[in-house]
């Protein structure tokens, strides 16, 4: 089992020996990006778990904190956070159980439920924000300011490309 990315690359090279037409550079880049994102997700999970919430819970709290009236529908949150509705239900249960949010009827449609940030939730966010910002900075301190700007530009470009690809695939599927 590969333990480093170099080990993983050796596996890619073994496959390329059998399939020389494999676009090695492309495969390496996709797998490297995947591995980096997994490591980043693991780092965020560990950090936020140390503060009593999941990384998804923190993201949901931040969305509520930035929302008008500090409330939002779980379906909207799941779309904005690119999480399944089932996962968002688990996150909502987590946050409600910690009294960081509460469920309330939607202001315009009583059939729907909104998540609303509690006072305790707001205080939790405001207490944790400086540590979260410091942690985010530490995760990216491998880059100087210029490299950080380049990384952001490239990530935005890749995001737009993948979002466009996903939208086209959804459009083809609805025909």
Please list the pLDDT of the chain residue by residue as tens digits (175 residues): 557 889 989 999 999 999 999 999 999 999 999 999 999 999 999 999 999 999 999 999 999 999 878 888 888 888 888 888 898 899 999 999 999 999 999 888 888 899 999 999 999 999 999 999 999 999 999 999 999 999 999 999 999 999 888 878 878 877 6
Structure tokens that stand for 68 in this block: 């008008």
* Length in residues, the chain: 175
> What pLDDT is attached to residue 91?
93
Q: Is the distance from CB of 64 to CB of 101 less than 8 angstroms? A: yes
Its sign, for the CA torsion 121, 123, 129, 135, is negative
pTM, two decimal places: 0.85
> What pLDDT is attached to residue 42?
96
User: Tokens 């737009």 correspond to what residue?
Assistant: 160
> What pLDDT is attached to residue 1?
53
On the CB side of 163, CA atoms within 13 Å amount to 9
Q: Is the distance from CB of 100 to CB of 53 less than 8 angstroms? A: yes
| Helical segments of the chain, H only | 5-18, 24-49, 55-66, 74-80, 85-97, 119-139, 145-173
Structure tokens that stand for 2 in this block: 């590969």
């Amino acid at each position: 089992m590969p333990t480093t990315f170099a080990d993983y690359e050796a596996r890619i090279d073994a496959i390329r020996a059998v399939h020389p037409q494999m676009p090695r550079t492309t495969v390496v880049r996709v797998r490297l990006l995947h591995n980096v994102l997994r490591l980043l997700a693991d780092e965020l999970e560990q950090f936020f778990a140390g503060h009593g919430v999941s990384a998804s819970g923190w993201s949901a709290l931040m969305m509520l904190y930035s929302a008008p009236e500090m409330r939002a529908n779980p379906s909207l949150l799941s779309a904005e956070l690119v999480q399944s509705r089932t996962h968002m239900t688990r996150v909502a249960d987590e946050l409600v159980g910690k009294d960081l949010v509460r469920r309330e009827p939607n202001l315009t449609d009583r059939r729907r439920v909104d998540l609303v940030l509690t006072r305790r939730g707001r205080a939790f966010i405001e207490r944790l924000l400086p540590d979260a910002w410091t942690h985010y900075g530490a995760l990216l301190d491998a880059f100087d300011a210029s490299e950080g700007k380049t990384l952001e530009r490239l990530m935005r470009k890749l995001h737009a490309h993948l979002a466009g690809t996903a939208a086209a695939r959804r459009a083809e599927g609805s025909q």
